[in-house]
Structure 1
Amino acid sequence: MKQLVFSAVLCFAFFSSFAQSKKAIAYRKESEDMRKSVWAWENPKFKVRDIPQKYANASKIIIAHHTELIADSKSSIAFYGLGFGAKFKQDLTEIVREVVKLNDKSAIAEYSELSFTQFEKRSGFYGSDKTSTYIGVRIIKPNGVIKEVNADDIVLTKDAANEKQAKLAIPDLEVGDILDYFFATARNTIDDMSTKQYNLILFADAPVLSYSFHGQLAKKYAIEYRSYNNAPELNVRKNDDGTIVIDVVKNDIPSFETSLWVSVSRQLPFIRMNIAQGFKGIGSESLGISKPGEVIKVTNERMAIEEKARTYSLDYYNGYLIRNAKKEYERLEDLAKQKAKQKGVNYELLSNEEKAAMLYYTFRFDWLLKFSIYRLADKINIGYREYDEGYNLVLFFLFKTAGLNPDVVVCEDRMGYRVSESMNGTDLLALAYIPSIKSFFSVRNIFDVPFTIPVAAEGAQNTSSFSFEHRAKDKPAGVNNLTEIKTGPDVPVSKSSNNSRVEKLRLSITSDQSLVSVKRTCTLKGHNKHAVQEKLLLYEDIMNYEFKEFNESTTFLDEIADEKGSKKYIEEVKNAFAEAKKKQKDAFLKDAKNYFEQEITNMKDFGIDNPGIRHTAPDFIYRSTFEMGGLLKKAGNNIIVEIGKIQGTPFVIKEEQLKRDLDVYMPFARSIEYHVELEIPEGYTAEGIAALNTKVENETGFFTTEATQNGNTVSIKIRKHYLHNFESAKNFEKIVAFVNASAEWANAKLLLKKK
């Protein structure tokens, strides 16, 4: 199925219409009118049928891609305060049309069904935005016959009150067909003066013969833009009425690798526009706001840093200096001292490192984990919640209150924009940092621990350290200028052993010789932990663990029961926890099925040995016992153990991905190991053990297997390590070497021969 995403990614806050089914008739009429309009476009690029010979073997070829973006000049203004809350009526239409030649069955499968969000409705900040989305689809057969798909025959896949998602089947597609389709979005928006990001994407996983964009925006708008990775510049002009006209044309774009270890922001061509309603009042310059009608190519390499500094100055002023805000951090420090006392520790005698850890855990316990009956469902599912970097600033405030003299370190996202190419403060990351112990702190989820570095920040250089003055400078918008910017520290990079997955598997064959009994213990470290912790760890278990760590005098559930007024809801809480406990078994079963990709049955003896939520015991360790199918085959009286399948379906680099010019951006250095012990059944001998040994190793990583026999046990140690989070393109073949070795070992077999 083709999940369509506008190639021009419009990051506006869209809010939709189509509130009632009686409007369906009106929608169908609008949809019909839109299709007639788009199909009438006179663009010769859409009529091209001759494909260059160099693309003859491509699975699909995008013959033409065109986007129209029209934002009119009508406005109605209602002022709030000093006008910063002015609301403007924006009529916005975007049409994206694409013509694609389908050359094989893979392309047919990809485009056999189109899905999109047809209608969406939600409230806006100052009002409501109304959006309608239309689609048109035509199939052009090799003989020139055009068949239009009835795009009104939409099947709703979600019919919620505030969102309607739909899909459209594309029947009778055949190899050699050309698919001509469009999405059109008409919006009637009411918006504030916030910046909206609009990206022109000039890459695809297929060759593009013709790409074009045409935009017309009213003179009230201001645009800042930057072209990335050899993308062309905007062609900008203005009409007599001041309307901003933008065109981009690019022909013969080769296909790009878009999915395998790629940083889009650093490697693939696109143009990024920040679109906002201009403002030319007092303080606009200090606030970094462009004037109406301006179209500015961004060349300021400090633009994002400066915006980040302004934002954090305001946060520091409002969140720490005024309105008794500091009292909250003083309360947290007092609570940390109390927690230390409960553990039999004198807080004042702790080192800076120990104080920072105690403050961190106290903050997490009191702000994030603390139980509330009014947020019971949120607490039950707290493992899935991701926190924004505002909490890192909270840590900074807390450490500052405690006299640890912290900084805020601002750095680039290693998979995102470089600092010198960033356009918004939100492009950059911010971490709390204590120079005296050279340690970083962040809170992305409840499983994070002190002294760890987010994967996105690893290896960052050319960082900036923010500290803050205590008085606003005597200039307009003075509270925006409290930040002192210094050169920051380099951010370390973790090793493959720091981000490991170690599967200890004790295997035996069931009496009927059809299944393998498995006793599993899995240990996850570093960046490998979170994705599994959120699925297997229960809120109740986390709280009980933290109660024990803080040496609380009661259990978590007992404390809830002792709270005033708890009688009316304690049973509800117990039932919710019990239901979560029941679901945990299913989570363990699903985890095993998804990881080993074999049939898993008879799950039992499952549990968490260590939750991995303290830096003093950081590994996440869980265990289970189950039976696994798919590994055994009978060969007469003998048994073939397809032991290579124990690693599931290994990662395979596709043939079309083997030729690579782009550098390699791995998520992080990491390792996967299997420590397998297979019990040989009585009356059998093991053959082929030596053939299980292999070793492929180079400077990018390695895959090794070591197999030995001791008595009736065959021990196999499988190790695959990606040693770095980045490799140059010239080393790609070396990565392929050990990755392919792992894939080939999936076919490894062991013969258990009947005596």
Structure 2
Amino acid sequence: MKSVLTRIAVSATCFLFVINSTHGQAKSDAEYHKESEEIRKTVWAWDKAEFRVKEIPARYAGASSVVIARHTELTADSKSKLGYNGFLGFSSNKIMSVSEIAREMVKVNDKSAVEEYSEFSFTRFENKSGFHRKDNSTTFVGVRVIKADGKVREINADDIVFTNESKSEKKAKVAIPDLQPGDIVDYFIATNIRLTNDFTDKSYVVTLFDESPVLHHSFHGQLGKKFAIDYRSYNGAPDLNVSKNSDDDIVIDVVKKDIPAFETTLWVSPALQLPFVRMFISLGNRGGIGRKFAGYSKPGEVNKNKETDEIVELKANNMALEFYNSVYIPQSIAYFNEIIKNAKVYAKNLGIDFKKMEDEEKAIFVYYAARFTRLLDFNVNNMERSINIGKQSFDGLALFTYCSLLAADIEGSVLLSNYRKGYRMQEVMDMDDIAMSTFLRGTNKFMGFSSVFSTPFETPETVEGVTDTKVVNLRVKGSVGGANGIAKLATVLPGIKVPVSESGKNAHIEQLILSLTPGETLLNVKRKSIIKGNFKADLQGRLILYEDFYESELRAFGESKSLIEQLEENKRTRKLAEDAKNAFAEARKKQKTSFLDETKEWFEQEISNQKEMKIDNMGVRHTAPDFIYSSSFDMEGLVKKAGNNIILEIGKIQGTPMSIKPEQRKRDIDVYMSYPRSIEYHVKVQIPEGYAVEGVDGLNRNVRNETGYFTVQANLVGKTVEIKVSKHYFHGYEPAANWNKLVEFIDAANEWTNAKLLLKKN
């Protein structure tokens, strides 16, 4: 939906419409409809002038949709509830009780907007909540249409269609029939939310940007005196007006008028570019041991723009606590000592003296041992987890890697920084805003896991190029009594600049041999794909089999027995060996489908007769880092008959490259892409006997500037046309001033999809 009360998250698609009580029992339909009717009457009766406006300014006449008014009411109170906490017995748990009503009135001006607003789903509505996390909620929706002649037609609650029902949740949708350009859709979502409180902050965002113009946006909040709030305005958003009423409730207001449409779909970092106000709401903690150490706020406390040094200190303290639990608790240190014990066995298998290794060489060996021993370890009780480990992503596992190195007496450090496309380091509000990365002390060589396929010395893509960093050194010796003692384990120092990769290091290269048979429209393709750097993990997760990966690592560590053989020789696991064989066989069958799906998605053509599928190199070791796989298949869609001649639409070999839409061509905000990267096609077209080729010279292109390039080099070598297509983005970030330069070579690549070769009958 173009015009929405959007959350700050780049994509928000996973919330459910939940109708339930705090006990997880669904409300009766009768009770729900009664409450829904009462809420609709209340909301439609709001006395707010902005919702009486029916005309839009002439300057927005060309907009697909215009938000005339948007308002959110947030109220919160708290109460105590006696609950049972397992082995802890009975205790008093706090429950946050929050009511949120968000109303929006939008004029739909064209067919596209009509299609967007003709059907609502409650799942879509819930995405509009300012809360990022919910425990339990009951949601009510009202929708009415104001026609061009002023008549108002409300959608009957009985027209709501429940698409999924269970005891704990319901999904529903409602259609708006006969919606026409020029109509106004007036709708709201009202949600009663119960958030179990552990004294941690609950994130709430007031979003002040939209893809459609907004004439009037307002927010009003009232939080009971037991609550506390931290807040910060981002990227030009107005400040909150915060006060207290006679009951000591915290009262919050913000109003923003005439908000222009923002580009939010292409290479935008909301945290760095779009206006919003971010709040953290909690039930205050009056005191007690560790309140300051844990970052808890007091009841009634209002903190604006909290010093980010406090957040960094909290992050370091939290890390120190985890570190203490990892290296001082006997059971924990045994966990890491086991990694080193295994590393020494693997070294001995390979005839290597572990003690005599240089630090970097030893660090690499420990890294692979830690990955194999802990991340790749086969779990006989959860084979599904093991087989699908490649689909999991990690946040770097900074402390895990640090402690693994420490157990081998290797000096590492942990880097604290902002995420490259996340909040600026001087604007962080929460420990989760701060990235943790492990590197070898005295170097900029990183050691972390973004996936199980990661290799040593890969710079984390999420922090490439960041400069505002802190280094945390953790020490084993020292006082560790109480919270303050644990904090002394962490020393925070000025950080380092994180290096940036080059476009050629993050590459997707297709080596293709194309042949065709006269009279047929199928193109035979022999394919080898070479994947480098940040492009790898997703494809590795889709195509690499756990069994193959595990066996490869066994051989790399000098182990002669396969996983199945090890299971069969152990009395405890012997019976599971057959289950493992069956699971591996099933995964191998699915791999064929994964290969076919990947091929279809990449080339965007109909693929058939795929065979010879294999992985040539898994790309899981720094000594052979490229992920390489190959296959052969037939492709539809590129060969056309023209009498006795053949037209090969060679430009379509690149699928549908990225194109810039008309509404995206004018840009005044900076460009935040993923990372420097490149896509190349190295193509050999074999000319069939009895044919000559025309149009080779016309394939060549050369569009190049400081942001990147698109080039095509084509030559006829004997009976083969050799073509190299290259598209490189030099940087992950470009200032707005360079936008037209980016567009220049992106357009060239898009236009080349029309490139053709004529194979003329002799």
Tell me, yes or no, whether TM beats 0.5. yes
Amino acid at match of 2:101: I
In the other structure, the counterpart of 1:306 is: 313
Please point out which of 738, 744, 748 is paired with 1:737.
744
Shift of 1:694: 0.7
User: C-alpha separation between the residues in 2 aligned to 1:8 and 1:399?
Assistant: 37
Amino acid at match of 1:610: N
Shift of 1:160: 6.0
Shift of 1:35: 2.0
In structure 2, relative to structure 1, the CA distance for the partners of 1:239 and 1:644 (3 Å cut) is same
Whether the aligned pair in 2 keeps the contact of 1:222 and 1:277 (CA below 8 Å) is yes
In the other structure, the counterpart of 1:606 is: 613
In structure 2, relative to structure 1, the CA distance for the partners of 1:508 and 1:440 (3 Å cut) is same
Please point out which of 575, 581, 601 is paired with 2:582.
575
Residues 172-207 of structure 1: CA deviation (Å, up to 9, x unaligned): 222222111211111234322111111111001111
Q: State whether structure 2 residue 424 is matched by structure 1 residue 418.
A: yes
Shift of 1:284: 2.8
Residues 271-301 of structure 1: CA deviation (Å, up to 9, x unaligned): 1111111123134334332211011102413
In structure 2, relative to structure 1, the CA distance for the partners of 1:186 and 1:595 (3 Å cut) is same
In the other structure, the counterpart of 1:628 is: 635
In the other structure, the counterpart of 1:480 is: 487
Whether the aligned pair in 1 keeps the contact of 2:2 and 2:212 (CA below 8 Å) is no
SS in 1 for 2:666: coil
Whether the aligned pair in 2 keeps the contact of 1:15 and 1:129 (CA below 8 Å) is no
In structure 2, relative to structure 1, the CA distance for the partners of 1:2 and 1:243 (3 Å cut) is same
Unaligned runs of 5+ in 2: 127-133
SS in 2 for 1:741: helix
Please point out which of 164, 174, 186 is paired with 1:168.
174
Shift of 1:473: 6.6
In the other structure, the counterpart of 1:316 is: 323
In the other structure, the counterpart of 1:123 is: none
In the other structure, the counterpart of 2:661 is: 654
Shift of 1:360: 0.9
SS in 2 for 1:440: coil
User: C-alpha separation between the residues in 2 aligned to 1:292 and 1:84?
Assistant: 24
User: C-alpha separation between the residues in 2 aligned to 1:439 and 1:245?
Assistant: 49
Please point out which of 229, 254, 261 is paired with 1:248.
254
In the other structure, the counterpart of 1:17 is: 20
Shift of 1:511: 5.0
Please point out which of 133, 147, 158 is paired with 2:153.
147
Shift of 1:70: 1.0
SS in 2 for 1:139: strand
TM superposition score normalised by structure 2? 0.93
Whether the aligned pair in 2 keeps the contact of 1:360 and 1:450 (CA below 8 Å) is yes
In the other structure, the counterpart of 2:130 is: none
In the other structure, the counterpart of 1:95 is: 101
Please point out which of 536, 548, 566 is paired with 2:543.
536
Q: State whether structure 2 residue 509 is matched by structure 1 residue 502.
A: yes
SS in 1 for 2:750: helix
The 5-angstrom pairing of residues 49-64 of structure 1 reads 49-64=54-69
Shift of 1:119: 12
In structure 2, relative to structure 1, the CA distance for the partners of 1:243 and 1:263 (3 Å cut) is same
Amino acid at match of 1:311: N
The 5-angstrom pairing of residues 125-274 of structure 1 reads 129-159=135-165, 163-274=169-280
Shift of 1:707: 0.9
Whether the aligned pair in 2 keeps the contact of 1:8 and 1:67 (CA below 8 Å) is no
Whether the aligned pair in 2 keeps the contact of 1:68 and 1:213 (CA below 8 Å) is yes
Residues 717-742 of structure 1: CA deviation (Å, up to 9, x unaligned): 10000001111111111001000000
SS in 2 for 1:378: helix
In structure 2, relative to structure 1, the CA distance for the partners of 1:167 and 1:593 (3 Å cut) is farther
Whether the aligned pair in 2 keeps the contact of 1:357 and 1:450 (CA below 8 Å) is yes
SS in 2 for 1:373: coil
Amino acid at match of 1:109: E
In the other structure, the counterpart of 1:106 is: 112
Identity %: 48
Amino acid at match of 1:369: L
Amino acid at match of 2:201: T
SS in 2 for 1:396: helix
SS in 2 for 1:138: strand
Residues 549-600 of structure 1: CA deviation (Å, up to 9, x unaligned): 1121111222222222334332222221111111111111111111111111
Please point out which of 30, 37, 56 is paired with 2:35.
30
User: C-alpha separation between the residues in 1 aligned to 2:408 and 2:16?
Assistant: 40
User: C-alpha separation between the residues in 2 aligned to 1:485 and 1:22?
Assistant: 52
Shift of 1:3: 10
User: C-alpha separation between the residues in 1 aligned to 2:374 and 2:302?
Assistant: 44
In the other structure, the counterpart of 1:275 is: 281
User: C-alpha separation between the residues in 2 aligned to 1:2 and 1:300?
Assistant: 36
Please point out which of 559, 569, 574 is paired with 1:562.
569
Q: State whether structure 2 residue 681 is matched by structure 1 residue 674.
A: yes
Q: Number of aligned pairs?
A: 747
In structure 2, relative to structure 1, the CA distance for the partners of 1:473 and 1:590 (3 Å cut) is closer
Amino acid at match of 1:654: K
Q: State whether structure 2 residue 719 is matched by structure 1 residue 719.
A: no
Whether the aligned pair in 1 keeps the contact of 2:714 and 2:723 (CA below 8 Å) is yes
Whether the aligned pair in 2 keeps the contact of 1:2 and 1:113 (CA below 8 Å) is no
In the other structure, the counterpart of 1:42 is: 47
Whether the aligned pair in 2 keeps the contact of 1:671 and 1:720 (CA below 8 Å) is yes
User: C-alpha separation between the residues in 2 aligned to 1:84 and 1:737?
Assistant: 67
Whether the aligned pair in 2 keeps the contact of 1:537 and 1:611 (CA below 8 Å) is yes
CA RMSD in angstroms comes to: 2.6
In structure 2, relative to structure 1, the CA distance for the partners of 1:635 and 1:455 (3 Å cut) is same
SS in 1 for 2:122: strand
Whether the aligned pair in 1 keeps the contact of 2:612 and 2:630 (CA below 8 Å) is yes
Shift of 1:327: 2.5
In the other structure, the counterpart of 1:125 is: none
Whether the aligned pair in 2 keeps the contact of 1:303 and 1:424 (CA below 8 Å) is no
Shift of 1:629: 0.8
Q: State whether structure 2 residue 461 is matched by structure 1 residue 458.
A: no
User: C-alpha separation between the residues in 1 aligned to 2:599 and 2:566?
Assistant: 35
Whether the aligned pair in 1 keeps the contact of 2:242 and 2:250 (CA below 8 Å) is yes
Residues 517-549 of structure 1: CA deviation (Å, up to 9, x unaligned): 111111110001112111111111111111121
Shift of 1:155: 4.1
User: C-alpha separation between the residues in 1 aligned to 2:473 and 2:26?
Assistant: 56
Shift of 1:495: 0.3
SS in 2 for 1:720: strand
User: C-alpha separation between the residues in 2 aligned to 1:15 and 1:219?
Assistant: 28
User: C-alpha separation between the residues in 1 aligned to 2:56 and 2:319?
Assistant: 53
Amino acid at match of 2:723: I
SS in 2 for 1:344: coil
Whether the aligned pair in 1 keeps the contact of 2:238 and 2:254 (CA below 8 Å) is yes
User: C-alpha separation between the residues in 2 aligned to 1:616 and 1:569?
Assistant: 34
Residues 595-620 of structure 1: CA deviation (Å, up to 9, x unaligned): 11111111111111111111111111
Amino acid at match of 2:600: K
In the other structure, the counterpart of 2:73 is: 68
Shift of 1:154: 3.9
TM superposition score normalised by structure 1? 0.94
User: C-alpha separation between the residues in 2 aligned to 1:629 and 1:35?
Assistant: 55
Please point out which of 372, 379, 390 is paired with 2:379.
372
User: C-alpha separation between the residues in 2 aligned to 1:83 and 1:372?
Assistant: 33
Amino acid at match of 1:714: V
In the other structure, the counterpart of 1:124 is: none
Amino acid at match of 2:42: S
In structure 2, relative to structure 1, the CA distance for the partners of 1:163 and 1:2 (3 Å cut) is farther
Unaligned runs of 5+ in 1: 121-127
User: C-alpha separation between the residues in 2 aligned to 1:573 and 1:142?
Assistant: 66
Residues 457-496 of structure 1: CA deviation (Å, up to 9, x unaligned): 1011131111124334778643234211111221100000
User: C-alpha separation between the residues in 2 aligned to 1:686 and 1:101?
Assistant: 56
In structure 2, relative to structure 1, the CA distance for the partners of 1:699 and 1:86 (3 Å cut) is farther
**Between 321-330 and 290-299, the greater mean CA deviation after superposition:** 321-330
User: C-alpha separation between the residues in 2 aligned to 1:702 and 1:388?
Assistant: 32
User: C-alpha separation between the residues in 2 aligned to 1:58 and 1:209?
Assistant: 13
Whether the aligned pair in 2 keeps the contact of 1:352 and 1:437 (CA below 8 Å) is no
Amino acid at match of 2:235: N
In structure 2, relative to structure 1, the CA distance for the partners of 1:525 and 1:154 (3 Å cut) is farther
In structure 2, relative to structure 1, the CA distance for the partners of 1:492 and 1:587 (3 Å cut) is same
User: C-alpha separation between the residues in 2 aligned to 1:214 and 1:678?
Assistant: 65
Shift of 1:163: 4.4
